[in-house]
Structures are given as structure tokens and as C-alpha cells.
Structure 1
Amino acid sequence: MAIREPDPDEAARIREVVDSSMTTSFRLSPEQIDAVADEQFADDAVADALEDETTVLRVAETGEDIEEATITGVVEGRLAGDWGEVNWLFVDPEHRGQGIGTELYDAANEALRDEDAEYVCVTVLEANTEGHGFVERLGLEHDGDRRVDIAEESFVKYVYTDPDVDATLPNESTTEDADEESFPETESTDGNLTTTDDGETVYVARDEAESGTAASFYVTYEDADLTEQYGFYCANCGSLDISMDNMDRLECGDCGNTHAERSGESYDESYL
């Protein structure tokens, strides 16, 4: 295995790895995957990353010999003040189980520190069902949530840091705290956050949230005392059309925002 900086003309292969990895490991629609991959890893985006002095882009190349070598993983990180952020890490599903993810993380970590990053954090999309377990196996801990706009959609990212680090996380101008989200289609009624469903007032409990791939879901009630549960509210679009299956998976019928509990059983060790 070789870890190296890619050439601009390898963007197409990088995009293939990103597509296949996201399709396997991300709880996103095909349209969302295409939009994220287009914005973050299209030809121009790869070329810009390679020219940007604050960005680290590395690929893993595996093969028996030079002629058979192919890109099987990619990692992207950026400098943000004293921090280095590992924002994207993908491993081709067909080549997992070879330690590629760990090698890529180590390479990005080292490169960011070589660029004077004092600390390094990792951000993982809420929808990346396997990535969270991978990062936790590296010894990092969930240290906050961040809302980011990618391809004109809002997503939640979990931020992971070394538990021994005591420093303020970077807060780029393109992000905001995931807890500070807006509540579309709502109004304040006697100090309560409310919305309506066929003319009926529904009360939104702002302190009872479930994470979602695009925005949080909030428990709703029929009464201001929040005793009779009504259902759920989607903070991405303001809809009350939320379904729940027998695995407690939530899905918005209007915008496709979803939530599913993460567990150790969903972690695939081959990602390492």
C-alpha cells in the first residue's frame, strides 16, 4: 500500500471511490450522494484542493505491481486555526479489511500537524452509519455536533476529538452549532413553539430531539403541558408527516430526512 498526494487527472477514480463508499456506508438517497460527491470531489474540486495550501488530500494506492495499482481510498483534511480537521475519509468497499482507513487517517493527521496544526479533530456526517464506529475505534470521542451546508442541503456532522485535548473547537463561517437550527412552519404561542396540522395546534418540544441526516426531529404534543404525544416534527422542512418503523427509524415523508439509532452492531470492522 502507498499513501500519496493524487494527480489532478485522477479525480475520476477518486470520485468512483467516493460514490461506492457512500453508497455502501451512508444513509442518504442516491440524489444526495451524487450532490455531495459532485460538490466535494468533482474534477474542479479536486484540482482546487490540490492547489489550496490549507487542504490536505491523500489517496491510498494498492496493487501487486505498478501496472495493477489502483486508488482504493481517499482522505481530505483542512487547517482551521490551531486545528486540523479530517473531514472526509473513504475506502472502496471492495478493498476494506486491509487497514486502508487507518493508514489514511494517520497520514492526514501527520500532514496536518506538519502544517502546524496543534490539534486534530474528525468530522463525520450523521448519515455515515459506519464512520462513527471507525472513528471511535481510533480512540476519539464525540465532542459536539455541527450543521453544514453541502450542495444546497443542510447536514449534521459529529465532531470527534482526542479525549485528552481541552481546547475550543474551530467554528468556521460555513457552519453553525447543530442545536441552533431554525424551526420552519412554526410560531410562538404563549411561550410555546407550535405548528398546525389541518387547523389543529401541535406543540413542539425543543428539548426532546432526535438527530436526522438533514436536521433534527422533535417530539410533538397535543397539549401545552406536553403530556399527550402527537408525533414528530421535522426541523428540515417543518413537516409533521413523519413515519416510524419497528426499528424506531424515523423518516420525513416530505423531504426524506431520516433518523436511525446507531449501535455497535452497525460498525463494520473491515473499515479499518
Structure 2
Amino acid sequence: MEIREPNADEAERIRALVDSSMTTSFRLSPEQIDGITDDQFADDAIAAKIDDEDTLLYVVETGDGIEGTAIAGFVEGRLADEWGEVNWLFVDPEHRGRGIGTALYETASDALRERGAAHVCVTVLEANTEGHGFVDRFGLEHDGDRRIEVAEESLVKYVYADADVDSDGDLPTESRTSESDREADAAGEAFPNTETTDGQLTVTDGGETVYVARDEAESGTAASFFVTYEDADHADQYGFYCSNCGSLDVSMGDMERLECAECGNAHAERSEQSYDDSYL
């Protein structure tokens, strides 16, 4: 296999790879997958990333495709201050188990460090059922979550970094959040039906004050869910809050699937047992 930088005219091949990989390994609807591929991997998006000096892209090309060669893997990384971030990594399902994912991760990490990154982190969509186990194999530890907006979808990314690195809250995904977004979020504008009580986000349910844990998010098809508590110390869990409509009428099914009865926003918990070494 050959690891190389892609050309702009290969966007369609990359998009097909991403679609196949996400369909196999991500707990997302077909509409969500289409939205992400159209937003992040369209022809103009790939061309813009190739032209961006702070972004690096690599593909793995194998010689066993139907027409002679096939793009079997793709990775995207980005420099942000002293941090390098591996933010997308995909391996075609038919080519897994051959070391492609490992080769792409190591190539991207080395390239980011060669370009000046002092530390490298990896971000993985929470809905990526196999990606979390893949990252664990490199000794990286969960160092925070971040809600992102992709194709008008609110999704959660897990951030992984080296265990011996103290990020001190200054991960690149957080530092790129705009000041206006942080101010709007702090004001509760992204959380309908809430108010601020003694510095904490709260919502009233039948006259009872419920506390929303803004740092305990679960992804949803329309917007994130947040764990709620009966007390300000977050000791006794109350349930979940849907940030799409502001409802507390959120149920959890047998498969740990969250669903809002008011708006239909839903989330399926990722399985820790779903990882099978297929990326390595």
C-alpha cells in the first residue's frame, strides 16, 4: 500500500470511502451521514483543505481495486497553535485488519509534529462505535468532550490526548470555538426553557428546580442531551435534558437509547464491546 497526499480531483473517491466507513461503523442515520459527507468532503471542501497550509490530508492507495487501485483509507489532521489534531480517520470496511488505520494515524501524527506541533490529540465522534477503541490502543486518554455543528447537526466529539500531557483546558478544538459562541452558550441561548440559578443552568419541572450538567453531554440526532441532577452538587441524577426543545421528558430504552418524547430527538449509546481491532 502507498500513503500519499490526495489530489483535488479525488474528492469523489474519498467521499465514497467516508460514506462506506461511516455506514459500517457510525451510529448515525443515512441523512446524518449524507450531511457530514456533503459538508466535510464535497469537492470544494476537499480542495479548500488541500490548499490550507494548516491542514494535512493523506490517503492509502492499494493495488487491489477493481480498476487497478483503490483508496482504502483517509486521514485529516490540523495544526492549531502548539497542538496538532487528528480529526478524521476512515478505513474502508473491505480493507480493515491490514494495519491501514495504524499507518495513517502514525503518519499524520509524525507529520503534525514535524510541522511544529508540541502535542497531538485525536477527536472522535461519539457515534463512531469503533473509533474510540482504536484510539485507546495508542495509550491516549479521554480529555474532554466538545459539541460541534456539522451540516446543521449538533454532534459530540470525544477528545483524546497523551496521558502525561496536561492540556489545562486548552485543546485545539476548544481554542477554535469563537468568543461569540462561548458567550451565547454561557448565556443559555443554546438551552431552551432554562435559566441561570446561582451560576448554574437550571430548568423547572412541575415546580421543582433541576440542574443541567453542561459538561455531561450525549449526542442526539437533532441536538445534544445533557444529564440533569436534583441538586446543585450534581450528586443525585434526575434524568436527561433535550437541548433541541428544552424538554425533560427523555426516556432511556433497553439498549440505552435516549429519546425525547416532545421532539423525537434520539441517541444510541456507543458500545464499549463493539471494537474488534478492524482499524489496526
| TM-score using structure 2 length | 0.83
- 1:205 matched residue in structure 2: 211
Query: Is 1:247 aligned to residue 255 of structure 2?
Result: yes
Matches within 5 A, 1:226-265: 231-253=239-261, 254-263=263-272, 265=273
Query: Is 1:194 aligned to residue 203 of structure 2?
Result: yes
- 1:128 matched residue in structure 2: 128
**What displacement does 1:28 show?**
1.4
Query: In structure 1, what residue type is equivalent to 2:96?
Result: R
Matches within 5 A, 1:180-191: 182-187=190-195
- Deviation track 1:158-197 (CA, whole Å, cap 9, x = no partner) reads 11111122344221135869x967421223579882245x
Between the two proteins, the alignment pairs up a number of residues equal to 266
Query: In structure 2, what residue type is equivalent to 1:211?
Result: E
- 1:72 matched residue in structure 2: 72
Query: In structure 1, what residue type is equivalent to 2:202?
Result: L
Structure 2 unaligned residues grouped into runs of 5+: none
Percent of pairs with identical residues: 60
Are the aligned partners of 2:212 and 2:226 in contact in 1 as well (CA < 8 Å)? no
- 2:16 matched residue in structure 1: 16
**What displacement does 1:153 show?**
2.2
Matches within 5 A, 1:70-149: 70-149=70-149
Query: Is 1:158 aligned to residue 166 of structure 2?
Result: no
Aligned-partner SS, 1:266? coil
How far apart, CA to CA, are the structure 2 residues paired with 1:33 and 1:136?
24
Aligned-partner SS, 1:72? strand
Query: In structure 2, what residue type is equivalent to 1:169?
Result: L
How far apart, CA to CA, are the structure 2 residues paired with 1:63 and 1:249?
41
How far apart, CA to CA, are the structure 2 residues paired with 1:227 and 1:122?
31
How far apart, CA to CA, are the structure 1 residues paired with 2:66 and 2:20?
23
How far apart, CA to CA, are the structure 2 residues paired with 1:139 and 1:228?
32
- 1:26 matched residue in structure 2: 26
Q: Structure 1 residues 96 and 224, CA, compared in 2 at 3 Å: closer, same or farther?
A: closer
**What displacement does 1:260 show?**
1.0
Aligned-partner SS, 1:63? strand
- Deviation track 1:45-96 (CA, whole Å, cap 9, x = no partner) reads 0111111111001111112489521001110011100111000001111111
**What displacement does 1:235 show?**
2.2
Cα root mean square deviation, aligned? 3.1
Are the aligned partners of 2:227 and 2:237 in contact in 1 as well (CA < 8 Å)? no
Aligned-partner SS, 1:53? coil
Q: Structure 1 residues 145 and 57, CA, compared in 2 at 3 Å: closer, same or farther?
A: same
How far apart, CA to CA, are the structure 1 residues paired with 2:236 and 2:125?
33
Aligned-partner SS, 1:69? strand
Structure 1 unaligned residues grouped into runs of 5+: none
Aligned-partner SS, 2:203? strand
Q: 1:169 aligns with which of 159, 164, 171?
A: 171
Are the aligned partners of 2:129 and 2:270 in contact in 1 as well (CA < 8 Å)? no
Are the aligned partners of 1:210 and 1:259 in contact in 2 as well (CA < 8 Å)? no
How far apart, CA to CA, are the structure 2 residues paired with 1:226 and 1:19?
39
